[in-house]
Amino acid sequence: MAEGLVIVGGSYAALHMAQGARENGYGEAIRLISDEPWLPYQRPPLSKGFLAGKIERDALALKGEAFYRDNGIEVLLETRVSAIDRQARTVTTAAGANLRYDGLGLALGARPRLLKIAGADLDGVFYLRSLADTLALRERLARPLSIVVIGGGFIGLEVAASLATLGHRVSVVEALERLMARVLPPVLSDFMAQMHRGRGVEVRLSAGVQEIKGDGAGRVASVLCSDGSELAADIVVAGIGVVPETGLAAAAGLACRDGILVDDAARTADPAIVAAGDCVRYPSAFTPDPCRLESVQNASDQGRAAGAALAGKPQAYRAVPWFWSDQYECKLQMAGLSPGHDRLALRGAMAGGRFSLFYFRAGRLVAVDTVNRPGEHLLGRKLLAAGASLTPEQAADESFDLKALLAA
């Protein structure tokens, strides 16, 4: 046992794997291999505060250099892994180097789903995933522009909010009939649409995109919608979902199904290999079937569990999933997983812009979404973790003390 750990990835899951291994007493070498040029950094601000210029680059680092030094974590940047040899227990880099491992952590993340329409390769079409993406977009924002955002999900709407706040003319084109349809109920989708429209953003729903037209010199000029209408565009930002990075794992013979399959302690079927984060599908107490989550929380908590497994101290990962999105002055926070709910209760008044939605399935609380009520978000996470009994009527009654459910 002298080769140590190799962790492939350079973001939340990778960092937390390394930290989780050390916290559980792992004493051999740890090497973290990232294809990016920067140490692990915060991603959520890339579509929010960092895009809007409110946060500067040196504030994005997840840990200072001292952390890696003090914890004996060697980071190899700008290094791409091209293959895993499970028999030999080596990974091969694109430059041809072979690194041996005793334990391997895969934190491969996900990549943006690409537009498959004519004009998708024109200059001025952007995706947002990495710091490099946001830096490239930021460089183009010096003057007021017409910007078309394709996709009305988390990334699309955060980008729309950030850019509208900066004074750009923004349109959002969403293929489904409402915004954030994958994660929000209609009542919240409508709330979000109204908010964006109130800020001057043109929100087009049930709208397909046919083609991105160029100006004849290779640059974006407009977006042609399926209904024949055309939106002038200097910049197009596409936020149409991500695809989990499973290629490396699948090529090594690890089972994948829209995500690398792991157990509840983040272990693959190979006892030497764990995986965590956006690239993973795992059995969750919060969904009937194994699920794949795209979030900081999942990457961090599952990464910790994966690190513990690498240290020989596996622990079940059962944390309540949570997510957030900041758009304008709206802080939307989600705890638990609401899809599949059969009842929902509103706590507070939507018109006031501060309220919560409690979701129930078969009489049990399954999720809590809050708007500008971060304290109730924390409370919601605790209620879900405790499996607290709560009725929709109690949830809707603001005089009912939710905290009392935890004390009992």
Partner 1 sequence: MVIYQLKDGSERRVDVPAGHSVMLGAVQNDLPGIDAECGGCCACGTCHVYVDPAHYGRLPAVEAMEDDLLSGVAAGRQATSRLSCQITMTPALDGLVVRMPERQG
Beta strand ranges found along 129-239 (DSSP E):
146-150, 169-173, 202-204, 209-214, 220-225, 230-232, 235-238
Please identify which residue in the block is written with the tokens 């919601």. 380
Closest distance to partner 1 from the beta carbon of 49 (Å): 7
By the rule CB under 8 A, 62 interacts with partner 1: yes
- Measure the CA–CA gap between 379 and 166, rounded to whole angstroms: 34
Q: Between 210 and 297, name the residue whose CB sits nearer to partner 1.
A: 297
Closest distance to partner 1 from the beta carbon of 339 (Å): 22
Q: Which two tokens stand for residue 268?
A: 């693959």
- Cβ neighbours around 202 below 10 Å, total: 15
Q: Could you tell me which stretch among 98-106, 132-140, 172-180, 293-301 binds partner 1 (CB under 8 A)?
A: 293-301
Q: Could you tell me which stretch among 62-70, 179-187, 239-247, 389-397 binds partner 1 (CB under 8 A)?
A: 62-70
By the rule CB under 8 A, 158 interacts with partner 1: no
Considering only the C-alpha atoms of the chain, give the largest distance between any 2 of them, rounded to a whole number of Å. 69
Contact indicator for 18, 6 with CB cutoff of 8 Å:
no
Q: Work out which of 25, 27, 37, 64 binds partner 1, going by CB under 8 A.
A: 64
Q: Work out which of 287, 297, 315, 391 binds partner 1, going by CB under 8 A.
A: 297
Question: 370, 275, 286: which is closest to 320 by C-alpha?
Answer: 286
Q: Work out which of 324, 355, 358, 359 binds partner 1, going by CB under 8 A.
A: 324
Q: Could you tell me which stretch among 72-80, 294-302, 341-349, 355-363 binds partner 1 (CB under 8 A)?
A: 294-302
By the rule CB under 8 A, 151 interacts with partner 1: no
By the rule CB under 8 A, 375 interacts with partner 1: yes
- Measure the CA–CA gap between 40 and 10, rounded to whole angstroms: 5
Q: Between 236 and 305, name the residue whose CB sits nearer to partner 1.
A: 305
Q: Could you tell me which stretch among 40-48, 213-221, 258-266, 305-313 binds partner 1 (CB under 8 A)?
A: 40-48
Q: Work out which of 56, 139, 289, 393 binds partner 1, going by CB under 8 A.
A: 56
DSSP-derived secondary structure for 64-116: -HHHHHHTTEEEE-S--EEEEETTTTEEEETTS-EEE-SEEEE---EEEPPP-
Residue type, 7: I
- Cβ neighbours around 304 below 10 Å, total: 24
By the rule CB under 8 A, 44 interacts with partner 1: yes
Please identify which residue in the block is written with the tokens 């792992």. 26
Q: Which two tokens stand for residue 5?
A: 């750990």
Q: Work out which of 331, 339, 391, 392 binds partner 1, going by CB under 8 A.
A: 331
Q: Work out which of 57, 59, 94, 227 binds partner 1, going by CB under 8 A.
A: 59
By the rule CB under 8 A, 315 interacts with partner 1: no
Beta strand ranges found along 160-295 (DSSP E):
169-173, 202-204, 209-214, 220-225, 230-232, 235-238, 242-244, 260-261, 273-275, 280-281
By the rule CB under 8 A, 61 interacts with partner 1: yes
By the rule CB under 8 A, 70 interacts with partner 1: yes
Closest distance to partner 1 from the beta carbon of 347 (Å): 14
By the rule CB under 8 A, 217 interacts with partner 1: no
Residue type, 11: S
- Measure the CA–CA gap between 287 and 185, rounded to whole angstroms: 17
64: phi then psi, degrees, rounded to nearest 5: -80, 165
Q: Work out which of 196, 304, 347, 377 binds partner 1, going by CB under 8 A.
A: 377
By the rule CB under 8 A, 373 interacts with partner 1: yes
By the rule CB under 8 A, 72 interacts with partner 1: no
Q: Work out which of 38, 67, 286, 328 binds partner 1, going by CB under 8 A.
A: 67
Residues that bind partner 1 (CB under 8 A): 42, 44-45, 48-49, 56, 59, 61-64, 66-67, 70, 296-297, 300, 324, 326, 331, 333, 372-379
